[in-house]
Structure 1
Amino acid sequence: DHNRLVISLAGDPDAIMDHLIRSAEAAFSLIDMNVHSGAHPRIGALDVVPFTPLKDVSMEECVQIAREFGRRLYEKFKVPVYYYEEAATRPEMKNLENIRKGQYEGLKKAISDPDRHPDVGEAKLHPTAGATVVGARKFLVAFNVNLGTPRIEIAKEIARSIRFSGGGLAHVKAIGLALEEKGMVQVSVNIVDHEKNPLYRVLELVRMEASRWGVPVVETEIYGMVPASAIFQSAAHYLQVADLEPEQIIELKLLDMAGDQP
């Protein structure tokens, strides 16, 4: 239903950038945005590329890497680039949803508006690849909650009520999507700071809101990679283990001893 692929890479910045350029070339050769469709918002074949600091790299360095990648991407493929989050050059473009407004189809015309011009490249979409959003940000947790109903209005209402812009949880973004193949709907959530609003809190709020409609939570999904600390928080909460520490998890302890604590 999403018609979307998330790939996570970790490594040396120069090597990552080279691999991303090759990945972009593959995506641009295979995906034609004029015939692409899917439940998830998007503006291009290579929709969004966030750089996240993991170890021995600062956020400031990630901003520099993001902007360099954006320049290289346009120089090689002539795909216009928008910068977002910490790499944003304009306050209104900091939020990804502002850039994606209208999606690929709407941006075809809107890109000519000076307020919607890309940061790199001409104010026109690539004829088949669209545009790409590049940025630097903290680790984002993509967390989806699937509900036992086909009624999309329920998912949209729950998403509206739990996201920060709708008066819900800080550091939480959410939209409602239809999963036609499963006959269900989904509350698709991005937790932009899991330390301040962990997965379990988001799940329980969705569950509470869904119960008002008599709708059960069927399953959840974690999309892409997440920090171990995000899973640890929820495991400690649901197991109700008093004073559980990461060093009690053997794999985390071994990583810590090796100097690679996640």
Structure 2
Amino acid sequence: MLQSMLSCCKLYISESRNSLALQSIERAATLHPDAAIINKFKDEAYNRVGYTLVSPLTENPFFNSPLNEAVVSMVAEAFKAIDLRSHCGTHPRLGVVDHICFHPLAESTLEQSARLAKMAAAAIGQCLQVPTFLYGAAHEEGRSLASIRRELGYFRPNSGGHEWAGGLCLDISRRKPDKGPSQVDQARGVVVIGATQWVDNYNIPVRSTDMTVVSRLAKRVGGRGGGFDSVQALALAHGKDCIELACNLLEPDRVGADRVQLEVQRLAAQEGLVLEQGYFTDFSRDRIIESYLMRKVD
């Protein structure tokens, strides 16, 4: 029964180098013991950290989910500990808390995940007063994460070279947030919250400094360039002499990392590029469930 009623959230914060800030954010989650951080993925070059949290799914409409309580507590602490105006990194971002996504696990449903996403958006937008945008099953028209990001200029570096730095000068008057104010605080930015089926995040290092060529490769791999329709790929500078293909595998049971790796190898050979083996930034769904259940047993 416990396994069938789990909810999952992936929370991405635009910081990885300030250990004190991350410690305070993680302490905020421990105030809600039914929710647990199952995975933490830090990337120094991107200056970004991703957390995967799991809790039992609460169906009683009069009680908030422990997962939501933990997520909102972490978000509130992130806004206290991090100022986007002093942030820089090679991963794009729209705010201190760049992205939150809820996923169904085991026998829970996408509808239940969407309900959690809407509750989190209400708390962050209205209580914390940060513009909040919904996507996927949490949005009434099912708009995509990529469409919101394109509208808000997420994919265009705002600093020298291939880096994002400083606060955001966003005009969101044409795209009214789903929750929260219509003015953007440069220290906090905005938050995008959604609900989707499970997504695998898989990064493939490319030994190159030619962003034009690697960006062309990313486009050819994904659906927008005639590649896999369930793959989104973005070329991002990652350390010295390396550009990564950051891939979202939207239907990993149909098009998984092995197929993507082989296709990228084929296309890279045509461009004369040298690849490394890709890597996941999170555990598999099954391992996440197993890890949470083992914690409860312990």
Give the counterpart of 1:133 among 164, 167, 192: 192
Indicate the residue corresponding to 2:257 in structure 1: 199
Indicate the residue corresponding to 1:70 in structure 2: 121
Residue aligned with 1:9, SS? strand
Judging by fraction of residues, say which structure has more helix.
1
User: What TM-score do you get using the length of structure 1 for normalisation?
Assistant: 0.80
Does 1:110 find its partner at 2:171?
A: yes
Does 1:99 find its partner at 2:148?
A: yes
CA distance in 2, matches of 1:133, 1:80: 9
Residue aligned with 1:216, SS? coil
Structure 1 position 126, deviation (Å): 2.9
Structure 1 position 36, deviation (Å): 1.9
Indicate the residue corresponding to 2:12 in structure 1: none
Aligned pair in 2 of structure 1 residues 89, 126: CA closer, same or farther (>3 Å)?
farther
Query: Residue type matched to 1:165 in 2?
Result: R
Indicate the residue corresponding to 1:216 in structure 2: 274
CA distance in 2, matches of 1:57, 1:220: 30
Indicate the residue corresponding to 2:181 in structure 1: 122
Structure 1 position 107, deviation (Å): 6.7
CA distance in 2, matches of 1:222, 1:153: 24
CA distance in 2, matches of 1:110, 1:75: 19
Structure 1 position 69, deviation (Å): 0.9
Aligned residues: 226
CA distance in 2, matches of 1:124, 1:224: 33
Structure 2 residue ranges without an equivalent (≥5): 1-44, 58-64, 159-166, 291-298
Structure 1 position 156, deviation (Å): 0.4
Indicate the residue corresponding to 1:31 in structure 2: 82
CA distance in 1, matches of 2:258, 2:121: 35
Comparing 218-227 with 76-85, greater Cα deviation is found at 218-227
Does 1:152 find its partner at 2:208?
A: no
Q: Larger C-alpha radius of gyration, 1 or 2?
A: 1
CA distance in 2, matches of 1:54, 1:227: 7
Give the counterpart of 2:247 among 166, 180, 189: 189
Indicate the residue corresponding to 2:110 in structure 1: 59
CA distance in 2, matches of 1:39, 1:120: 28
Structure 1 position 76, deviation (Å): 2.4
User: Which deviations, in whole Å up to 9, do the C-alpha atoms of 1:128-159 show, x marking residues without a partner?
Assistant: 11111111111111101001222222220110
Indicate the residue corresponding to 1:248 in structure 2: none
CA distance in 2, matches of 1:191, 1:7: 18
Does 1:3 find its partner at 2:47?
A: yes
Indicate the residue corresponding to 2:21 in structure 1: none
**Does the CA-based 8 Å contact 2:132-2:178 persist in structure 1?**
yes
Aligned pair in 2 of structure 1 residues 74, 45: CA closer, same or farther (>3 Å)?
same
User: Which deviations, in whole Å up to 9, do the C-alpha atoms of 1:16-67 show, x marking residues without a partner?
Assistant: 1111111102211122222322222211111111111103421111111110
Query: Residue type matched to 1:7 in 2?
Result: Y
Structure 1 residue ranges without an equivalent (≥5): 230-251, 253-262
Comparing 121-130 with 200-209, greater Cα deviation is found at 121-130
CA distance in 2, matches of 1:126, 1:23: 19
User: Which deviations, in whole Å up to 9, do the C-alpha atoms of 1:158-213 show, x marking residues without a partner?
Assistant: 1010110111101100011111x232111111000011111111101111111112
Indicate the residue corresponding to 1:236 in structure 2: none
Indicate the residue corresponding to 1:12 in structure 2: 56
**Does the CA-based 8 Å contact 1:41-1:100 persist in structure 2?**
no
Residue aligned with 2:97, SS? coil
**Does the CA-based 8 Å contact 1:162-1:174 persist in structure 2?**
yes
Identity of aligned residues (%): 24
CA RMSD of aligned residues (A): 2.2
Aligned pair in 2 of structure 1 residues 154, 228: CA closer, same or farther (>3 Å)?
farther
Indicate the residue corresponding to 2:32 in structure 1: none
Residue aligned with 2:248, SS? strand
